[in-house]
């Protein structure tokens, strides 16, 4: 079982004062509230049997994972593909205003490209594929904690969790659902 955990609340008070512009947003640490959220999360009995923590490389997630690692006494590993949603899939950081426009468009399209269109922002299905590739490398290793971001969890589970919230994710069930849908599409195409 994978336990997806959204990072604690970040402290963006230094945004726009140091280097916290563009990619610098990802350097923001947890707020005092965010630290308390994750310490509370660590006490959840579902996490007691976890063997490993996988974390996004962004500070708010990595700090959350470090707190969990300390509290639960289990190792932590950074997985770069657990990063946040990409406003631009070429990994170019956009000015804040342009990134906000991409995010607003992503939201207006419910995370899906309109039929026949390609966008530069990362779709929910692309995030989902990215996450599943990571999970497949760890499949069969027991209960794992995955500390990442709300939109990334939404791509897998269909809703945006709160800070410090735990969402259970069973990769086998997910893969079986995908295979069933693929077979249904193939059967429909054969009937056409």
Phi (first) and psi of residue 76, to 5 degrees:
-125, 135
What six digits make up the tokens of 36?
Answer: 């308390």
Q: 97 or 149: whose pLDDT is higher?
A: 149
User: What percentage of residues in the chain have a pLDDT greater than 90?
Assistant: 71
CA 30 – CA 62 distance, rounded (Å): 10
Instruction: Tell me the pTM.
Output: 0.87
Region 150-156 average pLDDT: 94
């Amino acid at each position: 079982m994978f336990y997806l955990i959204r990072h604690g609340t970040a402290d963006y008070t230094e945004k726009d004062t140091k280097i916290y512009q563009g990619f610098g947003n990802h350097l923001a640490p947890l707020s005092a509230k965010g630290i308390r959220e994750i310490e509370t999360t660590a006490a959840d009995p579902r996490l007691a049997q976890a063997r490993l923590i996988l974390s996004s490389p962004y500070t708010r997630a990595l700090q959350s994972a470090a707190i969990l690692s300390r509290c639960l006494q289990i190792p932590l590993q950074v997985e770069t593909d657990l990063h946040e949603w990409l406003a631009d899939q070429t990994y170019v950081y956009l000015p804040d205003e342009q990134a906000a426009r991409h995010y607003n468009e992503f939201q207006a399209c419910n995370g899906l490209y309109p039929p026949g269109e390609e966008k530069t922002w990362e779709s929910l299905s692309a995030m989902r594929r990215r996450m599943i590739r990571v999970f497949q490398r760890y499949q069969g290793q027991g209960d794992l904690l995955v500390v990442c971001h709300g939109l990334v969890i939404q791509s897998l589970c269909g809703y945006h969790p709160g800070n410090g919230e735990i969402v259970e994710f069973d990769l086998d069930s997910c893969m079986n659902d995908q295979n069933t849908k693929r077979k249904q599409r193939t059967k429909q195409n054969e009937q056409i």
